[in-house]
């Protein structure tokens, strides 16, 4: 903890973000949606997608790349296929406004797919997955980025950090949600390490010449490795296709080619799938059946369910607020 770090309540974080974004041209709805994403990330201890990202959101508004008053256009291409055109705005508003449509279509058809296009995504995917799972749906999401990850065996970054997220609804517990980058480490974590002057573990990335490096700044200029060798690299490839050609959006290298490199989020696509276990499986039985697995998992010492770290962080953050580093606060003040 630094000397000038400060403890902010979640309300204070929300207003800080809201005010800042409004001053930079965001309207109430867009600023509110982004503020909720950032506040929830801080509440859950996901600092790499919290206040640290505000400067990037602001950069994208200042450069004119992102429209602060964009309104997502939501339509159906088929009963279970939802098309969300973010209209050049930040993803959070498109996600918030499309959510009830995705839930309704999944409950009607058993499954729904939403292709979000023309959105600027800059955050964690658990945010959209958790709410779908809370509505009783099994959910999946993925999004690409710009080339920062090597295809296994290659020397040139081609894939984004390409996260995938999965959610499983539970009756009397918060949903089981995992959300992971297909790179060894999320880029936000590498950025955080660079800011805090920390070294990276072996095997996270390479420098500009393709040589292994533990220096986060070198790796940010070079490339990251996919997790699990070629297997993670194949997941990253799948995400390129699902969040790109499948839904009519760009591949990571195409996203980079049209980006103005202002340091903000990039324009791309996201695929969201939602499945209703009451329609696909056996009503009333699927939930208890899933619990059998979780019980077995938790019976082993030191094993936890994904999502629990975030859920455990919530009560204290809600009550006592969140410690924000002076570096981040100074940066926000300078905005």
325 is catalytic: no
Q: Would you call 111 helix, strand, or coil by DSSP?
A: strand
Residue 26 or 124 having the CB closest to ligand NDP = 124
Q: Where are the alpha helices (DSSP H) in the chain?
A: 10-23, 28-43, 54-62, 91-109, 126-134, 187-195, 216-221, 230-242, 252-258, 277-280, 286-299, 308-320, 326-334
Q: Is 121 in the site for ligand NDP (CB under 6 A)?
A: yes
Under the binding rule (CB under 6 A), the answer on residue 309 touching ligand NDP is yes
Could you say whether residue 125 binds ligand NDP (CB under 6 A)? yes
Residue 118 CA to residue 89 CA, distance in Å, equals 7
Active site residue 189: yes
Output the CA torsion 57→62→66→67 (10° steps): 120
24, 47, 48, 144: the catalytic one is 48
Name which of residues 168 to 227 contact ligand NDP (CB under 6 A): 178-181, 185-189
Number of residues that bind ligand NDP (CB under 6 A): 25
- State how far the Cα of 170 lies from the Cα of 175, in Å rounded to an integer: 5
Q: Which of 29, 128, 189, 240 is catalytic?
A: 189
Sole window of 122-130, 206-214, 246-254, 286-294 interacting with ligand NDP (rule: CB under 6 A): 122-130
Residue at token pair 């999944």: 106
Residue that is written with structure tokens 């839904």 in the block? 247
**159 binds ligand NDP per the rule CB under 6 A:** no
163 binds ligand NDP (CB under 6 A): yes
Active-site residue among 14, 49, 83, 121? 49
Judge contact between 81 and 63, C-beta under 8 A.
no
Catalytic residues: 48-49, 189
Which residues contribute to the site for ligand NDP (CB under 6 A)? 121, 123-126, 143, 145, 161, 163, 165, 178-181, 185-189, 304, 306-310
């Amino acid at each position: 903890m630094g000397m000038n770090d400060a403890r902010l309540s979640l309300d204070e974080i929300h207003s800080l973000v809201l005010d800042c974004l409004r001053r930079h041209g965001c309207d109430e709805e867009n600023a509110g949606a982004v503020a909720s994403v950032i506040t929830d990330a801080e509440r859950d201890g996901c600092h790499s997608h919290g206040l640290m990202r505000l400067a990037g959101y602001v950069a994208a508004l200042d450069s004119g790349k992102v429209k602060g008053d964009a309104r997502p256009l939501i339509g159906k291409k088929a009963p279970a296929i939802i098309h969300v055109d973010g209209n050049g705005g930040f993803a959070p508003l498109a996600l918030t406004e499309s959510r009830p449509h995705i839930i309704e279509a999944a409950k009607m058809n058993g499954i729904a797919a939403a292709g979000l296009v023309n959105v600027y995504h800059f955050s964690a995917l658990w945010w959209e997955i958790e709410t779908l799972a809370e509505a009783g749906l099994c959910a999946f999401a993925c999004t690409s980025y710009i080339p920062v990850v090597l295809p296994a065996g290659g020397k040139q970054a081609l894939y984004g950090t390409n996260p995938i997220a999965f959610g499983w609804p539970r009756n009397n517990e918060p949903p089981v949600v995992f959300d992971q980058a297909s790179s060894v480490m999320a880029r936000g974590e590498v950025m955080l390490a660079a800011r805090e002057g920390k070294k990276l573990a072996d095997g996270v990335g390479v420098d500009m010449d393709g040589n292994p490096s533990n220096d986060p700044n070198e790796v940010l200029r070079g490339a990251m490795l996919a997790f699990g060798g070629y297997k993670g690299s194949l997941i990253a490839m799948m995400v390129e296709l699902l969040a790109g050609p499948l839904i009519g959006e760009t591949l990571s290298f195409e996203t980079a080619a049209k980006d103005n490199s202002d340091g903000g989020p990039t324009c791309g696509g996201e695929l969201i799938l939602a499945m209703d276990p009451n329609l696909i499986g056996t009503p009333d039985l699927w939930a208890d059946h899933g619990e059998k697995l979780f019980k077995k998992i938790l019976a082993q010492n030191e094993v936890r369910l994904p999502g629990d770290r975030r859920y455990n962080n919530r009560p204290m953050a809600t009550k006592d607020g969140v410690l924000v580093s002076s570096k981040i606060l100074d940066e926000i003040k300078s905005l």
